[in-house]
Amino acid sequence: MSKKSNYYNILIKQKLEILKEYLYLLEQNKLTFAALIIILFLILIAIIAPIIVPFPSHIYGAVNPQDKLLSPSWTYLFGTDEMGRDLFSRVLYGTRISLLGSLIAVAMGLLIGVPLGLMAGFYGGFIDEFIMRIVDMFLSFPPLLLAMAIAAFLGPSLKNAIIALIISWWPWYTRLIRGQVVSIKEREFVRAAHAIGTPSWQIMFKHILPNCISPVIVQASMDLGGIILTLAALSFLGLGAQAPIPEWGLIVNTSRTYFIKAWWYGIFPGMAIFIAVLCFNLLGDGLREVLDPKTKKY
């Protein structure tokens, strides 16, 4: 065995150990663990949705007007909507849209927010002031309002709603990271790296970042839920996904017109939103207990 492959073996073993440790801690908190399982289940559904739905054609286009507004039955588990489409299929497929949309928004938010926060904290001075003033500007707004305004002016569509959410969310990560960076920056190992001439970007990404990433991970996992919620809220107001996209919030909005005749219509997509957001929040909560050194149980 070469030295290099030996090195990698040990590295992998180390990482596995850490992973095992985290999973053990997670398991202690049963609620969080259950949430994790449900989330994995949802991800699974999102991935295989087009295959497992009973009525794939009902997701977008085809209409079946003879069967409109039927109550839940064995054929149509959640009933049908006003165009005769199976609500069960649409809600299942909606998982894909919500999860994917939320993932994109959080990922892009991180991609923009984290480097900016690193730079602000690391370089300090004018760059710090400039970036943080902009961040403060954004943070002075309640997130839903900012997203609403941007989505309204860009034009109502799913794409624009996600863009609006990215714009509303990145400042949170920047502020979070910057706070951490400022305190880590003065530590010994950073000074040492600096002294031996490591380039700045390497210091930022390889040394500082791994040490302050945990609150961001916690925040990001809770945000996955929060963004699903906000996206659904935007669609509910008419600013997000438009017909015939089967987005959860949009389905709930459409259900309002048929409230009297088909009261079950809006229950299921709303329930889906609730479960998804709840699980992400529980996960984030549990992760916080695991990752936050202050509240470690041992």
Partner 1 sequence: MLSFITRRLLLGILTIFGVILITFILVRVVPSDPAAQWVGGRATPQQVAVAREELGLDKPIYVQFEHYIKDLLKGNLGYSLMTHQPVVEELKKRFPATLELVFISCIIALLIGIPLGLISAKDKNSWIDHFSRFFSIGAISIPTFWLALVLQLIFFMFLGLLPSGGQLSMKIKLFQTVPNITGFILVDSLITGNFAILKDFLKHLILPAICVGAYTIGLVARMTRSALLEILSEDYIKAARSYGLPERLILYSYALKNSLGPTITAVTLAMGYALMNTFLVESVFSWPGIGKYIADAVVCLDYPAIMGVTIFAACAYILLNLIADIIISLDPRVKL
Partner 2 sequence: MKKYCLLIVVTFLLFSFFAFTVIGNSQTDDFAFYAYNSSPVTDWDPSVEFSNGIVSLNNVYETLLRYDPLEDKFVKLLATDYTASSDGLTWTFTLRKGVKFHDGTNFNADAVKFSVERTINMNQGAAFVWAPVDKVNVIDDYTVEFRLKYPAPLDLICASGYAAFIMSPTAVKSHPDSWLTEGHEAGTGPYLLESYQQERGEVKLTWFKDYWGGWEGNHFKKAVIKDVSEAVTRHLVIEKGEADITIELPYEDIASLQDNKNVNVLIGPSFQNLILFFNNEKEPLNNKLLRQALSYAFPYEDVVSYCLEGYGRQGRGPIPYGLWGHSEELFQYNYDLKKAKELLEKAGYATGELKLLLTYMSGDEAERKTAELFKAKLAELNIDLEIRGMPWDSQWALARDNNSDKRQDIFIMYWWPDVCDPHCWLYSNFYTEEEPFFNLCYYKNQEFDSLVDKGFEESGVDRNKATKTYIDAQNILVEDAPVVFIYDKKNIYCLNKTFQGFKDNPAYANVVFFYDTYREK
Residues at the interface with partner 2 (CB under 8 A): 61-63, 65-66, 68-69, 82-83, 155-156, 238, 242-244, 256-261
- Max intra-chain CA distance, the chain: 76
Task: Find which of partner 1, partner 2, none residue 166 binds, CB within 5 to 8 Å per kind.
Answer: none
Count the Cβ atoms, other than its own, within 10 Å of residue 1: 7
Shortest distance (Å) from residue 172 CB to partner 2:
31
Shortest distance (Å) from residue 31 CB to partner 1:
7
Shortest distance (Å) from residue 77 CB to partner 1:
19
Two tokens, residue 285:
């909560």
Nearer to partner 1, 17 or 27 (CB): 27
Cα 69 to Cα 87: distance, rounded to the nearest angstrom: 10
Cα 57 to Cα 89: distance, rounded to the nearest angstrom: 9
Residues near partner 1 (CB under 8 A) are: 31, 133, 136-137, 140-146, 148-150, 152-155, 225, 229, 232-233, 236-239, 249, 252-253, 255-256, 259-260, 263, 266-267, 270-271, 273-274, 277-278, 280-282, 285
Block residue for tokens 């049908």: 80
Shortest distance (Å) from residue 66 CB to partner 2:
8
The DSSP bridge partners found for residue 86 are 80
Cα 134 to Cα 107: distance, rounded to the nearest angstrom: 20
Nearer to partner 1, 84 or 266 (CB): 266
Shortest distance (Å) from residue 263 CB to partner 1:
6
Shortest distance (Å) from residue 139 CB to partner 1:
9
Nearer to partner 2, 226 or 240 (CB): 240
Nearer to partner 2, 138 or 258 (CB): 258
Count the Cβ atoms, other than its own, within 10 Å of residue 255: 21
Task: Find which of partner 1, partner 2, none residue 136 binds, CB within 5 to 8 Å per kind.
Answer: partner 1
CA dihedral 262, 263, 268, 269 (to 10 degrees): 80
Two tokens, residue 204:
């930022």
Cα 47 to Cα 50: distance, rounded to the nearest angstrom: 8
